[in-house]
Structure 1
């Protein structure tokens, strides 16, 4: 009789232990899950705070420099959309044909100069944008016939050259003292009082230019 009671008690104890063990594991898993949720929330809150701070800083920069946001779209300045960027400088390709001296003046009025071509990279850039048209460049021998000079004082004799075959020359005993990019990109000398389009060049602005430089 006592043995039967002991067996019943053992079964009851074993059954309770079996039932309590899964509940214990569930409580642990819930606690771990809650802890992970709290940690995730803290990390998200921290990132949100950092992002909010960066956004506020960006807004202040834009507020203090409203034109700065356009510099990525217009490296030469949002008020100078006609100027094209290449290799650290800005270039203006005119739509008006004028004599060489007038072209030089128009560039200077825009705080620029007639373009000086000093190598193949710039030559390739220019000839792809001037194809089938003539454009004045900053090259001339106005002072002494045959002594070509760049408007920025660069050494012509040791520098880059890209003359068309047979150029520079004189046409029908008429002096051709000003350089231009020919319709296929090569250089040609031409009478300075003839009308041609022109190319201005200036450094990229370090700060957003105003409409005065347009």
Structure 2
């Protein structure tokens, strides 16, 4: 074998011996990177478990914090998030019907909704209802069906000592059978026969 071929063989052998040595020099780096990754994952898992534990303790100490969403709903929809057709005014909820009915049917529909026909006991409440009814006829919870001339509020409120807002000349019992009251022009009250069909106002307290 000549000297030139010997040098080539030596270079090949040396090249082969250098590759494993190079890999061995990077092996600790790969090991450290792997350990660092495992440590990072472990720390993240530990942090998440601690955050979860702290949140649970905060809710135990102050359970009202878990009710923030319902509290916001009560501010936006004081009559209940599922009762958006009800309108809030001065501590009560009101429903203004979209269809007409007799006084008896209106009374029954209000009761089906867990309420009663509106009982107007102040000028503030009268103004609110007057603004909403806008000269349309709406039944209220006032009647003298039990005794002619003895008007009674449907919830037992004493009629003789409370606010009234009759139209001039009313109640007049025209036709001898006008036993139910509704609001009409400018919100004034008028008596009419109870089978007349008009809109109606229901009233109920705020939900608890």
Q: Does structure 1 residue 196 correspond to structure 2 residue 198?
A: yes
RMSD: 2.2
For residues 80-134 of structure 1, the C-alpha deviation after alignment (integer angstroms, 9 at most, x for no partner) is 0010001111000110100001101111111111000001010011100001211
**Of 129, 135, 138, which aligns to 1:132?**
135
d(CA) in 1 for partners of 2:77, 2:190: 32
> What is the DSSP-based 3-state SS (H/G/I as helix, E as strand, rest coil) of the residue aligned with 1:157?
helix
d(CA) in 2 for partners of 1:158, 1:205: 28
For residues 9-46 of structure 1, the C-alpha deviation after alignment (integer angstroms, 9 at most, x for no partner) is xxxxxxxxxxxxxxxxxxxxxxxxxxxxxxxxxxxxxx
Per the TM alignment, residue 65 of structure 1 is displaced from its structure 2 partner at its CA by 7.2
Q: Does structure 1 residue 186 correspond to structure 2 residue 182?
A: no
Q: Does structure 1 residue 163 correspond to structure 2 residue 154?
A: no
Per the TM alignment, residue 158 of structure 1 is displaced from its structure 2 partner at its CA by 1.6
Stretches of structure 2 lacking an aligned partner (at least 5 in a row): 1-53
More helix by share: 2
Structure 1 or 2, whichever has the larger Rg, is 2
TM-score (norm 1): 0.65
TM-score (norm 2): 0.67
Q: Does structure 1 residue 205 correspond to structure 2 residue 207?
A: yes
Match of 2:179 in 1: 177
d(CA) in 2 for partners of 1:160, 1:64: 40
d(CA) in 1 for partners of 2:67, 2:197: 44
Q: Does structure 1 residue 122 correspond to structure 2 residue 136?
A: no
> What is the DSSP-based 3-state SS (H/G/I as helix, E as strand, rest coil) of the residue aligned with 2:187?
coil
Stretches of structure 1 lacking an aligned partner (at least 5 in a row): 1-51, 207-214
Match of 2:48 in 1: none
